[in-house]
Amino acid sequence: MTQLPQDFMCRMQDMLREAYPAFLRSYEDEKAQALRVNALKGTKEEFLAKADFGSLREVAWEKNGLYYTETSDCAPGKHPFHEAGVYYIQEPSAMAPAVYLEAQPGEHVLDLCAAPGGKTTQIASYMQNQGILVCNEIHAARAKILSENVERMGIRNALVTNETPRRLAEIFDGYFDRILVDAPCSGEGMFRKNEEARGEWSLANVQLCADRQDEILDCADRMLRPGGRLVYATCTFAPAENEGSIARFLERHSEYRILEVKKYDGMSAGVPEWAYYEADGSGGGRAAGHETDGTARPCADRAENSRTAFGHTVRLFPHLVQGEGHYLAVLQKHGENPAGYQSFPANGLQKGINPKEAKEFLQFQQAFLQVDLLENAQDRLLRFGEQLYLMPERMPSINKLKVLRAGLHLGALKKNRFEPSHALALALKKEDVRQFMELGTEENARAYLGGMTLNHDGERGWYLMTYQGYGIGWGKLAGQVMKNHYPKGLRICRKV
């Protein structure tokens, strides 16, 4: 194990005092592993009835979260359920911020720093494909991974963008009901599971991250409507990036207050003194405005930034919870929108095409689907060249935005035919199609995922391939041969 940075250890010892030895010992423990069942695909109870993953234990703060122990017989990342989007493998502490966001169906929600997509897909499961979920990532390569995870989890109402927070703020002024800022940070909370993060850490980088967080939070403020909820989260222990970031934000934006939220077993309260913690250059430090012996002076003159308010924020330490290090704060913006008010993006709303321009899709839907995807959505078809998308209701215009995914990718309009997308297969259930082929065994599922052709008796045409009832891809039957349409770029060869 790579040695922890000396400056980091000095500061943590100064912060934790008598709890420091227990904190240090936690780095000798195995990291906790967990998955989150995708509520868009089915219930946790249905998954548990089908899964053979050994002993699974619930994550206290996420109703669909389950701890697992990886063994030769239990490797969730290599199971067909993973490819079907039945669950997302997610660090347990990282599940907490989206829980506290409390996103609701029909709302306008933003995940501002969204890659690789764990929290985005978690938010989407709460929204149940209703409303607008804008998930943004500033780095292009990471935005692509985000888009792929949105697809795998069968999400229909997501707009995936690759923009700067400042650019989004120009378009979405006062637009969102809820915003999650899972801020880029120094990553101290990931030291146990990511040794590379230790080598990249420095006190200077902590300050750089804190400055960046100030700018991101200011952009988030511009995009949040009056009365809206903002959840700020990091995976670091650094006071400057946690209580410090919130204190500086509240000093710039007095219209916000910290909300009191439920803390689950093992969760700690934020520390008011750490809001003004000053590093002394040796990795240690002290709280500004406090005695050097660590005893706190009254801070009533800080107005809303009181002892009680910062006690409402949440810290997760690896020696107290089964998870890595995280921090989160839940803020509410003062005011409320008038009854019936509908926020409107500066770009306006995206216009769709006439469904008659996508007759090949209409023919496919009539022949092979049991559901009408255009029911109450006649104006929501969007076309890019031959690619066809089903937009979320009242989707913002994508004019002059870098967009990777604009709702549900339906497929490609070819000459006199329609070819359904992999995203559509992952968004459908077997009840939604006229024909499906149940792969039955894990061996058959792995063969399909590897690109093998299968035999099947039935009517010609498109089939939703399913594994234990979950859609996993497309097949097309000609004669008794089921042609494999699982994307070549995703195919995997695995030993059974």
- Which residue numbers are catalytic? 235
Cis amide prior to 105 (ω within 30 degrees):
no
Cβ–Cβ contacts within 10 Å for residue 2, how many?
A: 10
- The DSSP element (H or E) to which 443 belongs, if any, is helix 442-449
Residues 6+ apart with CB under 8 A from 190: 197, 235, 324, 325
Which residue in 113, 112, 102, 110 sits closest to 62, CA to CA? Answer: 102
Are 154 and 117 spatial neighbours (Cβ–Cβ below 8 Å)? no
- β-pair partners for 233: 182, 328
- DSSP label of 157: S
Are 107 and 178 spatial neighbours (Cβ–Cβ below 8 Å)? yes
How far lies 282's CA from each of 5, 11, 279, 288, in Å?
Answer: 11, 8, 7, 16
Tokens 């996993």 appear where? 472
Long-range contacts of 65-71 (CB under 8 A, 24+ apart): 65/34, 65/35, 65/36, 65/37, 65/90, 65/92, 65/95, 66/34, 66/35, 66/36, 66/37, 67/32, 67/33, 67/34, 67/92, 67/322, 68/33, 68/34, 68/35, 69/33, 70/33
How far lies 454's CA from each of 147, 439, 482, in Å?
Answer: 29, 10, 5
- β-pair partners for 182: 233
Dump strand ranges (E) for 280-338: 285-287, 314-316, 326-333
User: Apex CA 492: angle with CA 424 and CA 147, to 5°?
Assistant: 40
- The DSSP element (H or E) to which 447 belongs, if any, is helix 442-449
How far lies 380's CA from each of 10, 157, 270, 351, 407, in Å?
Answer: 56, 12, 45, 7, 10
Tokens coding 427: 């968004």
Read off φ and ψ for residue 363, nearest 5 degrees: -70, -40
Identity (one letter) of the amino acid at 122?
Q
Identity (one letter) of the amino acid at 124?
A
